[in-house]
Amino acid sequence: MRLTILGCYSATPRTLNNTTSQVLEINNHMFLIDCGEGTQVQLRKHKLKFNRIKYIFISHLHGDHFFGLVGLISTFRLLTREADLHIYGPKGIKEAITLQLKLSDSWTNYKLYFHELTSTKSELIFEDNKVEVHTIPLDHRIYTNGYLFKEKAGERKLNIDAVNEANIDVAYYRKLKQGFDVKNEDGVLIDNKTVTFPAENPKSYAFCSDTKYKEDIVPVIKNVSVLYHESTFLEKHAHYAEKTKHATAKQAATIAKLAHVKTLILGHYSTRYDDLSVFKNEAKTVFNKVKLARDGKVFNF
Amino acid sequence: MRLTILGCYSATPRTLNNTTSQVLEINNHMFLIDCGEGTQVQLRKHKLKFNRIKYIFISHLHGDHFFGLVGLISTFRLLTREADLHIYGPKGIKEAITLQLKLSDSWTNYKLYFHELTSTKSELIFEDNKVEVHTIPLDHRIYTNGYLFKEKAGERKLNIDAVNEANIDVAYYRKLKQGFDVKNEDGVLIDNKTVTFPAENPKSYAFCSDTKYKEDIVPVIKNVSVLYHESTFLEKHAHYAEKTKHATAKQAATIAKLAHVKTLILGHYSTRYDDLSVFKNEAKTVFNKVKLARDGKVFNF
């Protein structure tokens, strides 16, 4: 997986601070997560190929996560896109986008599918043979979902020397990769584990922004490889977090610890803080493996 | 008057090309004209004080002139603006903005007035004691207006030495500034012109984007100090201009010549052209006083 942070600040775009948007590359997919104003320029700036985006996931309809979407959709049209585009987001997203396309008489020449979300329970919203995407219901001022991206368990890998040695016909290779024991050309049953290597551990990524501290997301994101959790504030401003339904760095770290995630990435910072290292220090008092999102930063995992 | 070009490119924002937006400072007003995606960041970049904007004029509802408006309105809210904001633009603009504010549950804490336009004739839409704003009906793929900003004729200036010499009481100064002859303290009628200087010539600015070549705007913009006229294409691509209802540099210059404007500013360039000087050269074959808009450029006139 490869995660590119296009923007990780809250509220409003500024000269040097972009609002929320990320690109997650996973098994040949390029998923776009949230789309604040200016996202299309950030995509260009980081030389990410627009055309590869086929699925967009919007957490909620606050402007700093959403106002760049209509522009991106329009730009796809101007670039004569033909591929379908699927958009997942809260109910209302279809009306907001289609009204603007109607007013500008600029209907897309590609197919645009809206998948509007209303459930407050985690649900599977996308699946192919390699990846699943689930919602993570969050608690913010308006209806909001995080998203959990999970690689499916892959196939076992052939130990080709051992396979040859065991005299197994090529017709059985598929079965071996799927973990079955098979008979060799002499009719002897071969233990799968003696001729294959284990599948790589499937990776997972949970995006949780925006939300107040919400412990009941823990079961949904349990053991993920990487958790991005918003930390709009520091503990000294916990009263602002409470009031605006955001989280502090320490609260994000507490969720990471409870969910036994491997790595926590902090983001969605209020621009009131000049020094981001304080977020990391605060989170580290609770959970050790903390990284800071920054606009343009790439995480490989 | 002071005109700051925030963006002067057509179609989509790019790393180095912003879509249409301009700030016109005139008699203590700071008018915002069009608001493509990213306009609020351009305002910050050029250190223009957001708070001074009280009137916004939107030409039409294509994204490259409009998609930054909802973000700017939201940012005003976050900056705890209290002053009223007036928005002039095509019918539909109110619904597009208010739907998005509704979906994000982010109503403004200041008063937002929409003045929706539907007329295809030039009309006076704003007036105070120093400035008038009129629409300039244009011909584009959707309903579009340019805007004409006109200073009102100012007052004559007192020639204070001559006024004292003529022995005129201070109570008559107001009348003198308004151009009347007045009696002095000895009862003698004083010729206004002998004790005052003429008022400065009122300035005017016409913004015309987007439009095909449209000669019937000439009477509306006759003799303006500065005309900004779109020139999306060069003559060699006149067929594209025809098809998309845009203008060429030469056509913009022809309008400038017919209207006897003082200065023509070209803009709204297609990003297909790397070298903008070609626009100037083409326009100069028809009209001599041509300037090129560029993002961030300031024109004083």
Domain co-membership, A248 together with A161: no
Look at B12 and A74 and tell me if their CB atoms are within 8 Å. Answer: yes
Number of domains in chain A: 2
Nearest CA in chain B to A98: B96
Same domain, B108 and B177: no
Q: How confident is the model at residue A265 (pLDDT cuts 50, 70, 90)?
A: very high
- What pLDDT is recorded for position A5? 98
- Dihedral over Cα of A247, A252, A258, A260: its sign: positive
Query: Do residues B66 and B39 both lie within one domain?
Result: yes
Residue carrying structure tokens 């913010």:
A140
Residue A253 pLDDT > 90, yes or no?
A: yes
Q: Of A197, A219, A250, which residue sits at a domain end?
A: A197
Residue A224, judged by CB atoms within 10 A of its CB (0-12, 13-18, 19+), counts as buried
The per-residue pLDDT for A280 is 98
Residues of A in contact with B44 (CB under 8 A): 14-15
Is B261 found in the same domain as B218? yes
A166: Cβ–Cβ under 8 A, 6 or more apart, which residues? A184, A190, A194, A195
Asked whether residue B220 falls in the same domain as residue B136, the answer is yes
Q: Return d(Cα B58, Cα B244) in angstroms, integer.
A: 19
Q: Is B210 annotated as a binding residue?
A: yes
Q: Do A40 and B44 touch (CB under 8 A)?
A: no
- Do B224 and B246 form a contact (C-beta atoms < 8 A)? no
Q: What residues contact A50, with CB distance under 8 A and at least 6 apart?
A: A40, A43, A75, A76, A79
Under an 8 A CB cutoff, do A12 and B96 touch? Answer: no
- Annotated ligand binding at A246? The verdict is no
Q: Are residues B188 and B213 in the same domain?
A: no
Residues B285 and B165 in one domain: no
Q: Based on the fold, state whether residues B31 and B177 are members of the same structural domain.
A: no
Task: Say if residue A103's pLDDT is above 90.
Answer: yes
Indicate whether B127 pLDDT > 90.
yes
Which residues does chain A have within 8 Å of residue B100's beta carbon, measured at their own beta carbons? Answer: 61, 63, 67, 96
Say whether both B212 and B245 belong to one domain: yes
Q: Are B53 and B21 in contact (CB under 8 A)?
A: no
Distance in Å, alpha carbon of A42 to nearest chain B alpha carbon: 8
> What residues of chain A lie within 8 A of the CB of B90, using their CB?
103
Is B169 one of the catalytic residues?
A: no
Q: What are phi and psi for residue B27, nearest 5 degrees?
A: 50, 55
Neighbours of A294 (CB within 10 A): 13
Specify whether A239 is located in the same domain as A270. Answer: yes
Question: Which sign does the torsion angle of CA A37, A40, A44, A50 carry?
Answer: positive
A161 annotated as ligand-binding: no
* pLDDT over threshold 90, residue B39: yes
| Shortest distance, CA A196 to any CA of chain B (angstroms) | 49
Residues from chain A that touch B103, judged by Cβ atoms under 8 A, are 61, 90, 92-93, 95-96, 142
pLDDT tens readout for residues A4-14: 999 999 999 99
Q: Do the Cβ atoms of A70 and B78 come within 8 Å?
A: no
Q: Give helix B93-103 / helix B69-78 axis angle, nearest 10°.
A: 50
pLDDT at B266: 98
Residue A88 has pLDDT above 90, yes or no: yes
Three-class SS of chain A: CEEEEEECECCCCCCCCCECEEEEEECCEEEEECCCCCHHHHHHHCCCCHHHEEEEECCCCCHHHHCCHHHHHHHHHHCCCCCCEEEEEECCHHHHHHHHHHHCCCCCCCCEEEEEECCCCCCEEEECCCEEEEEEECCCCCCCEEEEEEECCCCCEECHHHHHHCCCCHHHHHHHHCCCCEECCCCCEECHHHCEECCCCCCEEEEECCCCCCHHHHHHHCCCCEEEEECCECHHHHHHHHHHCCCEHHHHHHHHHHCCCCEEEEECECCCCCCCHHHHHHHHCCCCCEEECCCCCEEEC
State the Rg of chain A over Cα.
22
The one-letter amino acid code at A274 reads D
pLDDT at residue A154, rounded to an integer: 85
pLDDT of A66 reads 98
B40 neighbourhood in chain A, CB within 8 Å: 12-13, 37
Is the CB of B71 less than 8 angstroms away from the CB of A63?
Answer: yes
CA distance A247 to A22: 19
CATH number at residue B132: 3.60.15.10
Chain B closest-CA separation from residue A178 CA (Å): 47
Rounded-to-integer distance, Cα B206 and Cα B220, Å: 9
- Residue A140, annotated ligand binder? yes
CB-CB neighbours of B98 under 10 Å:
16
Q: What is the mean pLDDT of residues B185-209?
A: 95
Active-site annotation holder among A34, A64, A275, A295: A64
**Substitution target from A21, A67, A79 for chain B, most B beta carbons within 10 A:** A67
Q: Are residues B170 and B270 in the same domain?
A: no
> Which position has the token pair 């930063």?
A297
The closest of B211, B219, B207 to B259, measured between CA atoms, is: B219
Mean pLDDT on B119-125: 98
* Domain membership of residue B80 as a residue range: 2-154+200-300
Question: How confident is the model over B71-98, as pLDDT tens digits?
Answer: 999 999 999 999 999 999 999 999 999 9
Contact between chains at B71 and A70 (C-beta distance less than 8 A): no
- Residue A35: pLDDT band (50, 70, 90) is very high
Q: Could you read off the pLDDT of B44-61 as tens digits, one per residue?
A: 999 999 889 999 999 999
pLDDT tens sequence across A130-155: 999 999 999 999 999 999 999 998 88
> Do residues B140 and B78 share a domain?
yes
- The predicted pLDDT at position B152 comes to 93
ipTM for this model: 0.91
Mean pLDDT score of chain A: 97
HEC-encoded secondary structure of chain B: CEEEEEECECCCCCCCCCECEEEEEECCEEEEECCCCCHHHHHHHCCCCHHHEEEEECCCCCHHHHCCHHHHHHHHHHCCCCCCEEEEEECCHHHHHHHHHHHCCCCCCCCEEEEEECCCCCCEEEECCCEEEEEEECCCCCCCEEEEEEECCCCCEECHHHHHHCCCCHHHHHHHHCCCCEECCCCCEECHHHCEECCCCCCEEEEECCCCCCHHHHHHHCCCCEEEEECCECHHHHHHHHHHCCCEHHHHHHHHHHCCCCEEEEECECCCCCCCHHHHHHHHCCCCCEEECCCCCEEEC
Closest to B104 (Cβ–Cβ): which among A62, A74, A75? A62
A14/B63 CB distance under 8 A: no
Q: Is B181 one of the annotated binding-site residues?
A: no
Over 90: is that where the pLDDT of B200 sits?
A: no
Q: Is B62 annotated as a binding residue?
A: yes
Q: Which residues of A touch B (CB under 8 A)?
A: 11-15, 37-38, 40-41, 44-45, 61-63, 66-68, 70-71, 74-75, 78, 90, 92-93, 95-96, 99-100, 103-106, 141-142
pLDDT digit string, tens, across residues B275-297: 999 999 999 999 999 999 999 99
Question: Looking at B197, B223, B249, which one is the last position of a domain?
Answer: B197
A244 token code pair: 């605006």
Phi, psi (deg, nearest 5) at residue B158: -70, 135
